[in-house]
Structure 1
Amino acid sequence: MHYGFDFCPAFWDWIVRAHRAGTLFSIEKVGDELSIGQDELAQWADTLGDGFFLRPDAATLPAFNTVTTWVNGQATYSPAAKNTFLQVADYYLVAQALAGQHTVVTHERPNNSIHVVKIPSVCLGVGVTFMNPFEMLRRERARFVLDGA
């Protein structure tokens, strides 16, 4: 975790504020994965409420099909890599972003590894905008300023 709760609480406060302003959300599947953890991040995620983690809806169904078709159509990935991607939150993240015309924020970079399907590669394939967290923070003009203590 790049921004620990102990040394950069402002990052986590900013996420909550951005969500309240309607500019930042996650998805239910990510929330499910976080809740499995027995750590500070899981505890923090539990405080966010259901509205933070968007659920798939009827508009997402065609997007799931689009993402599935694209992933399965790529000869560069092994069958195991395809199956893994289609079973984890990454799949839902891209599909829900496609359906809602959202931007995906991820530390991942596109690559053509036969063993792993990366979020940005799928985003490029299906026309979803993506960026890394640092770019998001700059675009949203987030500032984490010491309080002078």
Structure 2
Amino acid sequence: MFLVDSNVLIEAKNRYYAFDIAPGFWAWLDYAHASHIACSIEPVRDELFEREDELARWARSHADFFRPIDEVATSHFAPLTSWAQSRMYTAAALTEFLTNAADFFLVAYATAHKHTLVTHEQPRPEARKRVLIPDACRAMGVTYMNTFMMLRNTQARLDFQLPAAS
């Protein structure tokens, strides 16, 4: 199962898979969710709700796409916290990762459920000002990839449609 980060959905909406030009991406997400191929978590949904836009409306109408944080995921909070605290992150970076960001919950959930985390973040193990998802994934033994790798891995096809004749 693929676990989708908010940046995947936000970038899609803002750029290459905007609702008005690439409805096939959003239809694929519906299919992927119904087929137990992709999902996200409630903290990601909550991040999307911070905006009042088409993506927030999509998230509200797709509540079941976003899973709650369960006890299996919470059992991975301590090892993930220990890893983050053992690194040379700034106090602000640790506070953000451990208390304010969906990223922590994504990594814990992916670890617990053996999901592949889909994000646009790139690893930077030398980073100190922000805990990045790929670095946390590596530490926890979680596979991660970007949107395009997920689509290729699932053999998704987003078909082109000609506009209606005017």
Same fold (TM over 0.5): yes
CA distance in 1, matches of 2:156, 2:35: 13
Report how far residue 148 of structure 1 moved.
Answer: 4.4
Task: Check if 1:104 corresponds to 2:117.
Answer: yes
CA distance in 2, matches of 1:54, 1:146: 31
Q: Secondary structure at the match of 2:76?
A: helix
Q: Percent identity among equivalent residues?
A: 42
RMSD of aligned alpha carbons = 1.1
Q: How many residues are aligned here? A: 147
Question: Which consecutive unaligned segments of at least 5 residues does structure 1 have?
Answer: none
Name 2:59's counterpart in structure 1: 45
CA distance in 2, matches of 1:20, 1:121: 30
Task: Check if 1:94 corresponds to 2:107.
Answer: yes
Question: What's the CA shift string for 1:93-132, capped at 9, x where partnerless?
Answer: 0001001111100000011221111000000011111011
> Given residue 119 of structure 2, which amino acid in structure 1 is its aligned partner?
T
Indicate the structure whose relative CO is greater, using CA pairs within 8 Å and at least 6 residues apart. 2
Report how far residue 147 of structure 1 moved.
Answer: 2.9
CA distance in 2, matches of 1:115, 1:36: 24
Question: Which consecutive unaligned segments of at least 5 residues does structure 2 have?
Answer: 1-10
Report how far residue 74 of structure 1 moved.
Answer: 0.7
Name 1:132's counterpart in structure 2: 146
> Given residue 125 of structure 1, which amino acid in structure 2 is its aligned partner?
A
TM-score by length of 1: 0.94
